[in-house]
Copies of this chain bind each other. A is one copy, B any other.
Amino acid sequence: MADAIRDGEDRLPFDPEITADGPRVAFIGHIRSAWEMGTAPKNISSSRDTGEAARIELEPDYARGLKGLEVGRHIIVLYWMHEGQRDLIIQHPRHSDVPRGVFSIRSPRRPNPIAMSTVEITSLDIEAGVIGIDAIDCIDKTPLIDIKPWVSTIDMPVQQDK
């Protein structure tokens, strides 16, 4: 986990990969993509620009949990970026002038390395537990941890009357 760090970056005094004592995540399937380490696009938007589709493959026992989804619906896909270090609390992204706290950026390197993207269902085989999606930004075989329907009243910013 002790990768070189960039100027201004800083680590936690411990590595959550070793010290985390919360419940274990269940890997419920995998994401199949065209990307490998080094070729993965930097985010879902640039992935979409490539035109490369992707696929979600659920473990057989979880497949019927897809009942109720439909082609054309948007879903939020949550995946575990298992190759990333978890202790980099201050990071210096290439697009930023200054180092940033991990909770102000979308880096996959975070205390709980959960990444998420909102994608469109392009095909659906509930029995096989396979969902076609329009794009994804992670490498092939990244572990899947959740799928949620996108809901505007939960997932969109609300302008408050104050």
Contacts and interface: CB of A to CB of B under 8 A. Distances in A.
Contact of A67 (B26, B43, B65, B100): B100
Interface in A70-125: 74-76, 78, 80, 82, 86, 89-90, 99-106, 110-112, 114, 116-118, 120
How many monomers of this chain does the complex have?
2
Contacts of A65: 89-90, 101-104, 111
Interface of chain A, helix or strand or loop or mixed?
mixed
Nearest to A19: B26
Interface string A18-59: 011111111110000000000000011100100000000000
Given A17-B23, A67-B99, A78-B112, 12 more contacts: A23-B82, A25-B25, A28-B111, A64-B90, A64-B101, A65-B90, A106-B151, A111-B146, A112-B145, A116-B154, A118-B154, A150-B157
A12 interface: yes
Nearest to A122: B160
Interface residues of A, number: 70
A8 to B, nearest CB: 11
B24 A156 contact: no
A28 B112 contact: yes
